[in-house]
Amino acid sequence: MSVHNLTLLTDLYELTMMQGYFETQENETVIFDMFFRENPNKGGYSIMAGLEQVIDYIKNLNFSYEDVDYLRSLGIFSEDFLHYLSGFHFSGDIYAIPEGSVIFPREPLIKVIAPIMEAQLVETAILTIINHQCLIATKASRVVHAAKGDGVMEFGLRRAQGPDAGLYGARAAIIGGCVGTSNVLAGEVFDVPVLGTHAHSWIMSFKDEYTAFKEYARLYPNACTLLVDTYDTLKSGVPNAIRVFKEMREAGIHPKSYGIRLDSGDLAYLSKKARRMLDEAGFTDAVIAASNDLDELLINDLKIQGAAITSWGVGTNLITSKDCPSFGGVYKLAAIQNDRGEFVPKIKISENVEKITNPGNKTIYRIYDKETGKIRADLICFVDEVFDPSEDLLLFDPNATWKKTRLEGGSYTMKELLKPIFIRGECKYTSPTVKEIAEHCRQEKDTLWDETKRLFNPHKVYVDLSKKLYDTKSELLNNVNI
């Protein structure tokens, strides 16, 4: 899907800084890293999402006549600078971790190498796109994990923070593991399954519940899920649903999928009672779907209580990531190219230790246990560093350097995570389909240890620095010019 021109989707200070660089003729090539500092919901991992929209944004990056006229009207930009903007295009390099990948704090998700005016301009849009979609994909992954193999449907469009959040949130939810969405536009644009039943208003518009169910079954005999809690779930809704299912069976109609949906009340109690009623009537394969302000914690509790629910519709709490509404990604300068073409590492220092950045032109290697295929650690290093998996590898905690792990040569494998997306302004990457990304995400989560996937107090995957990068960072910290 091609988006409209989002060039002015930026903070004003990006443009005022650009003009400053333009006026001083300081447009050296720089490196910016986009990364995040903490997993949402205190989880053990996050999911990469949003890269396809970033690619589309970069491809369409140009200032229209209307954009330039608007900026002129602000009275803060020179005509020379506005003339420069009228011919603007992105000419740099972008590297990124592919969508659907498992990601961890502090490692660069996106690396931008470009003249500083270009690298500065794209900051805001990259952050808003990646922060939102990573957040929703990660939330969806947690919900899907709690459902333990049951299908999870994304039903949040009407509660999303606007149309774009609903559309791209649905996309991210599918990447995170949802089997479908109620969002019809998302179905068309991203070629993903659209799912749904009917509302209480359908029931209320008929003379009685039975007639409403019967008419719905007549219209949709192959996918007949009936909402049973409009009046009384156990005394009216489920019995009327069973009556309609019996009539369908007697008429020789055998739906591909059928069942009931619960949208209120004690879902554990009601689902178990409904399951017994359906089974006794001979409908042992009928689905029991549930909705009603679900999230991963409630689904986990319902599973513990033995709820007989086999399909989950999750809306508000997923599409808004209600309990953790922001991802916290940042975009920081890491290096500046000198006259000899070398990248000089730069570091941001803060009294908050977690805000000190990792300097230089970096890449990331993921280290897997050779026997199990599970992730042992991620290693951030300079791009020119080379590692041989046949040799021993010493890893250490960069915040507590006495904590060390030595991996024996031959016991591990390594994979570089950052892939070239744009080279000299030209896109070199073809985005997979959303379904393909979702399958990649499923495979990626299989590389996590169970202890990392748990909802509460997960084991954290180590994100370490190479010795060379650690030493460079230490030297910069010790010799900072204030």
Specify the pLDDT at position 107: 98
pLDDT per position as a tens digit, 14-60? 999 999 999 998 889 999 999 999 999 999 999 999 999 999 999 99
Specify the pLDDT at position 138: 98
Lookup: tokens for 392 = 């021993």
SS3 category, 344: strand
Q: For residues 269 and 301, is the Cβ–Cβ distance under 8 A? A: no
Lookup: tokens for 30 = 């720089």
**CA-closest candidate to residue 462, choices 454, 472, 470, 452:** 452
**CA-closest candidate to residue 101, choices 429, 446, 457:** 446
**CA-closest candidate to residue 295, choices 328, 260, 325, 258:** 325
- Provide the terminal-to-terminal Cα distance of the chain, rounded to the nearest Å: 47
Q: Dihedral sign, CA of 398, 403, 408, 410?
A: negative
Specify the pLDDT at position 1: 45
Helix, strand and coil in the chain, % to nearest 5: 40, 20, 40
SS3 category, 291: coil
pLDDT above 90 covers what percent of the chain? 96
The phi and psi torsions of 162 (rounded to 5 degrees) equal 105, 170
Beta strand segments in 399-448, E = 404-407, 412-416, 419-423, 426-427
DSSP 306: T
Q: Dihedral sign, CA of 298, 304, 309, 312?
A: positive
pLDDT per position as a tens digit, 50-74? 999 999 999 999 999 999 999 999 9
Q: What is the pLDDT along the chain (482 residues), one digit of tens a residue?
A: 445 689 999 999 999 999 999 999 888 999 999 999 999 999 999 999 999 999 999 999 999 999 999 999 999 999 999 999 999 999 999 999 999 999 999 999 999 999 999 999 999 999 999 999 999 999 999 999 999 999 999 999 999 999 999 999 999 999 999 999 999 999 999 999 999 999 999 999 999 999 999 999 999 999 999 999 999 999 999 999 999 999 999 999 999 999 999 999 999 999 999 999 999 999 999 999 999 999 999 999 999 999 999 999 999 999 999 999 999 999 999 999 999 999 999 999 988 888 999 999 999 999 999 999 999 999 999 999 999 999 999 999 998 899 999 999 999 999 999 999 999 999 999 999 999 999 999 999 999 999 999 999 999 999 999 999 999 999 999 987 65
Please name the residues in contact with 313: beta carbons below 8 A apart, sequence gap of 6 or more. Answer: 152, 153, 155, 182, 261, 289, 290, 291, 294
In 10 A of CB 431, how many CB atoms? 17
Predicted TM-score (pTM) of the model is 0.96
CA distance 198 to 403: 56
DSSP 81: H
Stretch (H or E) spanning 332: strand 330-337
Q: What Rg, from alpha-carbon coordinates, does the chain have?
A: 26
Specify the pLDDT at position 25: 85
Cα 427 to the center of its chain, rounded Å: 22
